[in-house]
Structures are given as C-alpha cells and as structure tokens.
Chains A and B, each alone.
Chain A
Amino acid sequence: MSKPEGISAGQIGIFLILFCIGSTPMFELGIDARQDSWIALGAAAIAGLGVLWGYRTLQNRAPEEDLAGLFKLHFGRAIGTALGLAMGLLLAYESMRNVRDFGELTSMTLLPETPIWCVMLLITGIAFYTVTKGVETFFRITQILLPALAGSYVLLLVLLLASGRIEPDRLRPMLENGLGPVLDTAFPDLLAFPFSQTIVLLVYWKYAAASKRAGAASYGAYAVVALFLVAVNAVIMMVLGPAIASIKALPTLEAVELIRLASFIERLDILVTLLLYIGLYVKISALYLASALLLRSACGLPLPAGALMIGPIIYGAAFLEPTNTFHLWLGLELSLKLTPIYQLLLPALMLVMGIGWVKRKAERQRAEGGRAGAGKTGAGKAGGADGAKGGSRSGGEPRSSS
C-alpha cells in the first residue's frame, strides 16, 4: 500500500516563498507609482495578507478539501464541478503565462538564436515530468531549490551594495504626488499579481491537513516573501531610478548588469536569468500541478492523465499570443482587471455565504465518508491518496454523498 501524499507545514512555507518570488523580480511592479513603487507593492502585500486570511478561513471550514471540493460544498455538486474545471483551466492559463515568460526571457538574454518553441517545449516537458511525480516530490524539489535561490539573491544584494550603485535618494521625494497614485497602482493590479496568486494554496493546503501549523507557516512565509519582494523592488529603484526602471523590460537584469567589481566580477545578469529560471520553473510546475489536481478532484481524472491533457494545452496556448508586447499587455494590464473576479470576488462570495453551515456540512460528510471509507486515520487524506500510482480509485471519497 502506498503512503498517502502528505506534506509538512514547513514545506508549505517554503513552497509559498518560492512560488511568490517566481517571476516577480523580472518586472519592476508598480512602476506607475514611480519612486513610490515599493510603497504600492507594500500596500498590496498588506492587503494580500487579508486575502490570504480569507483563503485560509475557507480552508479551515473543510481542511481535507481542495478548491474544487470547496466549490462543491458551497455551490452544490453541479456548479461546484463546473467551477472546479473552470478554475483548473484558469490555473493552466496562469501556468502558460509563465511558460511564455520563460521562453521570452531566454530569447532576450541567453539564447537569442534558439527558437522559442524549443525552449518552451523543454520547460513544459520538465514541468510535465514534475507533475506526474505528484505533490510530495514537487514540494521536496522546492526544499532543494530554496537555499540556492535565497543564497544567490543575498549574494547579489551584497554585490550591489559593494558596487556602490545603491542610491537611497532615488526613492525620494516620497509620495511626491500624494497617496492617490500609489493606491491606484496597488489596487487591484498589484493585489491581483503577485499577491492573490496565493490562491493555489487552496489546492495544496489539504495535503498538509495533518499538520496543525500549516496556517501559521503560510502566514509566516507570506510575511517573509512580501518583505523580500518589497525590498527587491526598492533596491532596483535605488539603483536605476524611476526613469530608467520604467523603460527597461527586465529591470532586475539591468541593475545587476551594472555591478563591476575588481575588474572581473561583472555581467552577473546571467545569474539573475538563472534565478528567474528557478522561480519560473516553480511557478509553472505549481500552477500546472494545481490545475491537474483540480481536474482530478473535480471529475476524478487520474493525475498523469490530467497532466497529459493539460500539458499540450499549456504548451499550445503559449503560442496564441502573437508577440511579447501582446503577452505582457495581456498579462500585466488586461488580465489583472479580470483575475480579481476569481481570485477575490468568488472567494469573498464563498466566505460570506458559507458562514456556519459549510463547516458543519463538511464535518458531516467527513464522518460519513469516514464510516464508509478508509477508516479513521486515512479518511483525512483519502482525497489525496489516489492518483499517485495511477489513480484507479475514484477521487474524493469524502464527498461522495451530498
């Protein structure tokens, strides 16, 4: 008998850190607020904490359910399944965005001659392989990647400091045009990306249901990563200044490129590219895996089958956007106006309409499922136990009665 899939609270925290870093340092987010971009990002991060609390509250109503299960609990079986599928596709879309980012980044920096189809095929292939290995393996990978990522970012920061390129005056005058433009930049755009992307946790939390500290670990990790992102944003602004930060496509790369030390430490932008690769890989795989998991719990599709279905969709959709400009416009302008619908409004609706009764319903279901199914200890993880080895059992035993 295979062990049920389970991850620890610490793993959730590490995952959240890597996931939120993801491709975020690729862009100087909140640049519309000019030198106050870090304030805008900070404001969005604080609001994001509230959003995270909302997600966690939803999760606490039914700790062993994922997003699709929560949809079914709140909206009934039919609508729940539909919403679960839709959400799976949306996450696949988000994954696709990162695949395209990966391709564009590679063409722009490391391999300008290599066709983008090849680069994207490789990363999608790697992500596919990761997804077929399941949740536990993926979370262990993030554990391995964290020290490399954290160490490299610290190194870059130290080198930037040593190069004397950091000029705190570039953040002044603070709030030159008042708080208005800053808040306009922060909401809803910055809240939607990157901070509300924590919605994927609603897919992964259930695998850490055995751990009591999963919630605390998530909040802690979120605080760390939010501080990190704000700090990176401010450092880049202190190096480049608002004017140049706003014209460069890859500001972090630009800032690091300026490091010249001892006549041989230079052109470190390659290092940044590799760091962004790590972030993008985590993000692509996390969203891809989440999408496949939702498919599994929404309609019982085994994980490898789901991966095989979604992979080509992600890869194919990455070619739908004709140009990089279109890609960035769609992602950082248009879809940020739409994603709050499912990242914020839908969860908020569930939060309000489900007060009280959903928790009891979930408990009742679990009790029934527990009697019918795998027994006391296995019940909590039964939903996640299938699929790892081909998923012959139907997904979501605890939800089988309604």
Chain B
Amino acid sequence: MRRLAALALLLALLPLGAAGCWDRQELNELGIISATGVDVTESGRWKLSYQLVIPSAISAQGSYVGTGHAPVNVFTTEGDSFRGAVSKATQEMSRRLYFAHNQVVIVGEAAARKGIAELIEAYMRNGDSRETVMMFVTEGSARLVLEQLLPMEKISGAGIVRLITQEEKQGGNFRQMTVFDVAQELLSPIRTTGVPGIGLSGSDEPVDTVDAAKMTHTGAKVRLQKLGVFKEDRLVGWLSTHETRGLMWVKGKERETTVSFGCPDARLKRNSIRLKQVRTQVIPTRKPDGGWLMRVKAEAAGTLLEYNCKGALDKPADLLELELRIAQELKSDMEDGIKASQRLGTDLTGFGNELRLRYPKEWKALEQEWNDRLFPQLETQLDVAVSIVRTGRSNGSYEQAAEDSRGKE
C-alpha cells in the first residue's frame, strides 16, 4: 500500500519536469523580425515598421535573385506608446512578432527630433528586444529604408549590419552604435552622441521589388551617409561624412582609413595612404587666464597606396617631408570635425569627459554650460604625427621615373 502511494506521488510529480514547456516557442508560429523602423505621425504617435523575414523565400541558395518571392515583408503599426504600437501587430499579422533576431533599428528624422528616450526605455526594459541592436537615423522615413533590398543580401536588415561592420573596419568613417552605446553616451556627463545616418542615394527608383534583381544595376542604393547628432536624446543636426571621420580620429575610435593628400602646390589630392590609428590622447590643460585648452595628440602609421609627385622616396629623410604633409591633411580633417561639432554646440569629441576625469572638481562648475557655451568656444591644439611605415612595392613614383626617362633622351 505504501509503495503504491509512493508510486502515485512520483507519478504526480512527473509533469513538473515538463514545466519549461510553458515557454515553448514553435518556429512556425513566429514572425521573425530583422529590422525595425521608427517614425512619427503628424499627431506625434509612434509609427513602427517591421521588416519580417519570409523563411521560405530565403531558404534557396544565392542572393534574392531566383525565387521570385520577396525575402522580407514590411508592415507598420501605430500607437501612442512604443510597445503599444508593437502589440497592435496582432491585429494584422498572423504570427507572433519575434524580436530576438532584430538587428537594426532605423529612426526617421522626425522621430529623432521628437526624442528617442522612449525607444531606449523600450529596448532596455524588455528581454526580447535587446539593446544590442544597431541604431541608425535617416533623413526621410524609416519605412522607406526597410523596404529596400540590398544587392548581395537576402535579408536587408542583416545586410545593413554587414554594411556598418565593413565600414567600421575598412572605411573608417562611421562606427557601429548599438542602442546600448547610444544610451550610455547620452547618460554620460556630456550627454551627446552621434548615430550613423543611413539613406537612399542614386536614382529615385526604389529597389523594393525582386524584379529589380533582373537588371545589372540597381536604382536607389542604401547608403551610409552623414552622422545624426544627438543632444539630450533629441536629434539636433547632421555632420557630413568627412567631418565624422575627423571626429573618429579625435576620439581615438579610428581603426583604418584611406587619406588622400596633394603634392606641393597642387589643388587636387592625387596621392593616398592607408592609415591606422596608433594612439590618440586628449590632454586638457588650464590656460593662465583661467580658460581651457585641449591638446590632442594623435599618432598614425600607414602604407602608401599611390604617389604621383616628383622626388625620390629611398631615404628616411625623403619621407619626412611627406609625413608632415599627410599629418597636415589629417590635422585639418580633425579640425573640421571639431569645428562642426562646436558649430552644433554638441560635444561629440568627448573633451568634456576627459576634462572631468582630470579635473573632477572644476568640472562640476562647467558641466551645466558645457555644450551650449563653453565647448563651442573651446580652444584646441592638435599635434599630429604620421609615420609612413612602408611605401608599398614601389620606391620612387612612376611620375618621377617617366620624367627621368624623358631627361635621358
């Protein structure tokens, strides 16, 4: 009898092992989202767009060519609150929205100017939509960007991630900003951040149909362009790509980039070098009159890519003059970046943070007026050193060789 009772008890306990099944998720019940777009309506409501992956269309080999089905489906819901808008998706989508694979969030300009605090809050609080998604701003509507197909990619959301990863590694103009990074920078003492811009360039013909893949060229292209400048969670302006790169050097975030420079007395910059950042150091110092001076020391090293000037390059002394010229070029890039962010009254350089680390007591008095009054008038002194580590597979330039052979005749 006792054994029977024990057996009955054990059997009763058995289902407990299946407790995890409460949270089962069946793949064929999910709508996997690869990118999200954020816009606002005229009345100020959130308009969220989702790029939904269509599994059957992406299962075939190759890029989006071939299947004849669109690989993604874009749709939009509206709501006063962020998650309120998300929950309305149940009214028009037969699958449960699954955000764990959402990799990109694109914010339209109007929404960015309204403020992204609610977006950050929604991403931080919920476990399913994580703050490791990458954030972009676009000058037009975010939905339009989501609708575009990328030539080499089936899922354009994932393609945009590859785009920015490549850009950060090779191009050196923009770097990835996740929602977390944005939140962290906006919560830092200087309360500013820059978010890479994304937009359409090329012809006005949008690439939102698979028929576009039948041609050898695409109309509009999704392109990284400009930097959206945020201050206290609102978009306050844009920087050009060139200015953004200068700031990357100032902040020490540059990995590798190609810099063009000119020959003496030449207007066009016909030479280029592949530069890697070695070190950047920002040293705030106090001027005798009580103001502040930011000394930026940057070091870069690189390999010549092309050289179309006259003169030999065989002795270290030959390179010296060249290095100075490149350093000058880099310096003016950096200056452009600093000036642009001063123009917007937004400390994108991180100078304020450096100042706080070195002079915590003084910083308390400066903090309130930093972005609006002190930073725009800040004096900077740039000290740039470039070393040409190697000159590639040529020594002197082709130009020089051609001239030498002419001289011999």
Contacts and interface: CB of A to CB of B under 8 A. Distances in A.
A108 B127 contact: yes
B23 A112 contact: yes
Contacts of A122: 16, 19
Interface string B149-179: 0000000000000000000000000000010
Interface in A9-55: none
Contacts of A266: 132
Nearest to B19: A118
B184 interface: yes
B132 A260 contact: yes
A302 interface: no
B23 A111 contact: yes
B187 A241 contact: yes
Given A169-B357, A176-B360, A260-B132, A118 B188 contact: no
Interface residues of A, number: 28
A305 interface: no
Interface stretch (A242-250, A278-286, A361-369): A242-250
Given A122-B16, A241-B184, A243-B188, A114 B23 contact: yes
B19 A244 contact: no
A140 to B, nearest CB: 24
Nearest to B22: A114
Contacts, number: 53
B360 A173 contact: yes
A115 interface: yes
B20 A111 contact: yes
A176 B130 CA distance: 32
Interface in A320-345: none
Contacts of A114: 19-20, 22-23
B132 A258 contact: yes
A119 interface: yes
A115 B22 CA distance: 8
Nearest to B183: A244
A106 to B, nearest CB: 10
B19 A113 contact: no
Contacts of A217: none
Contacts of B187: 241, 243-244
Nearest to A253: B127
A176 B353 CA distance: 14
A44 B23 CA distance: 40
Interface string A250-277: 0000000110100000110000000000
A216 interface: no
Contacts of B75: none
A118 B17 CA distance: 10
B124 A248 contact: yes
A244 B20 contact: no
B240 to A, nearest CB: 28
B178 to A, nearest CB: 8
Nearest to B176: A260
Contact of B357 (A121, A172, A247, A257): A172
A372 interface: no
Nearest to B356: A173
A110 interface: yes
A340 to B, nearest CB: 33
Given A122-B16, A173-B356, A257 B132 contact: yes
Contacts of A176: 360
A110 B187 CA distance: 29
A248 B131 CA distance: 12
A109 interface: yes
A273 to B, nearest CB: 11
The 3 closest A-B pairs by CB, nearest first: A243-B187, A173-B360, A114-B22
24 contacts: A110-B23, A111-B22, A111-B23, A112-B23, A112-B127, A113-B23, A114-B19, A114-B22, A118-B16, A119-B19, A121-B16, A122-B16, A125-B16, A241-B188, A243-B184, A244-B180, A244-B183, A244-B184, A248-B124, A257-B131, A257-B132, A258-B178, A258-B180, A260-B132
